Structures are given as C-alpha cells and as structure tokens.
C-alpha cells in the first residue's frame, strides 16, 4: 500500500514539475522576445523570474501539486504560445474550452499582463533606486 501511494505521489510530482518547467520556459522565451526588456536592458531571466513568481500567486490553486494549479501551468503555457500557432483560431477555441469560458481566458490573460506590468514597475523602480544610491 505504501509503495503504491509513493509511486502515485512521485508520478504526480514529476508531472507537476514538468508542467511548471514548461510554463517557466515559455515565459523566459517570451521575455527574450519582449522589446521593452531589450530597450530597458533588463535581464530576460530576471524579468521572467519576476513574472513567474507574480503569476504563481495569482493562478488558481493553492499549492504546486493542486490539480487546479497543474492545469493552470498547462493552460498558461498554451496561451503564451498562441501567436506561434499555425491555426490560431482553432487554438484560441481550444484555450477557451481549456480555461472553461472566454471570460476565464481573458481573466488569465489579464493576470499574465498585469504580472508583466507589475514586474516592469518593480524592476525599473529597483534600477532607479540603485542609480540614486550611487550618486
């Protein structure tokens, strides 16, 4: 009994890690393409970490292995790769279904966008504070 429970928990943990890592990789790729990150000379990895940390707190689910959180990782990664899709309309319809409704998809997009904007604000404020402290 204990061995089978251990196997189930371990497999769930591995799936969770894979979904989380996929989401993190997609965010990093997005930050590398983001023009404002380039213009403001922000390290894409630093920006990605901020965005990831911020969105984690706003995603559904309470902890990393929560089934709602696992689904959110998958859905957010899929949402962020929409622009690279050959059939964007079909993928958009899939996303609406995956998120449960067009409103939930819009809410998730808002969460991600707000996280990006909050990170720009925080990082630029941090840079400005460092510059002032040097003078």
More confident residue, 68 or 84: 68
Write down the pTM of the prediction. 0.84
Structure tokens, 132: 């002032």
Burial of 66 (0-12, 13-18, 19+ CB in 10 A): middle
pLDDT tens track for 45-71:
999 999 999 999 999 887 777 888 889
Report pLDDT for 9. Answer: 46
Is residue 71 helix, strand or coil?
A: helix
Query: Nearest 5 degrees, angle CA 62-CA 68-CA 74?
Result: 120
Are the C-beta atoms of 48 and 35 separated by less than 8 Å?
no
Q: Tell me the CB-side half-sphere exposure of residue 60, using CA atoms within 13 A.
A: 16
Say whether pLDDT at 6 is over 50. Answer: no
Residue with tokens 């990150």: 37
Mean pLDDT value of segment 8-34: 78
């Amino acid at each position: 009994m204990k061995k089978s429970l251990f196997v189930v928990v371990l497999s769930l943990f591995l799936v969770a890690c894979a979904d989380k890592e996929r989401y993190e990789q997609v965010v990093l790729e997005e930050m590398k393409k983001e023009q404002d990150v380039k213009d403001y000379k922000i390290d894409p990895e630093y920006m990605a970490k901020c965005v990831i940390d911020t969105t984690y707190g706003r995603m559904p689910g309470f902890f990393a292995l929560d089934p709602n959180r696992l689904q959110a990782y998958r859905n957010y990664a899929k949402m962020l790769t929409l622009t690279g899709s050959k059939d964007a309309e079909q993928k958009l319809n899939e996303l609406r279904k995956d998120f449960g409704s067009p409103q939930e998809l819009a809410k998730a997009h808002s969460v991600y966008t707000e996280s990006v904007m909050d990170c720009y604000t925080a990082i630029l404020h941090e840079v400005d504070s460092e510059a002032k402290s040097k003078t």
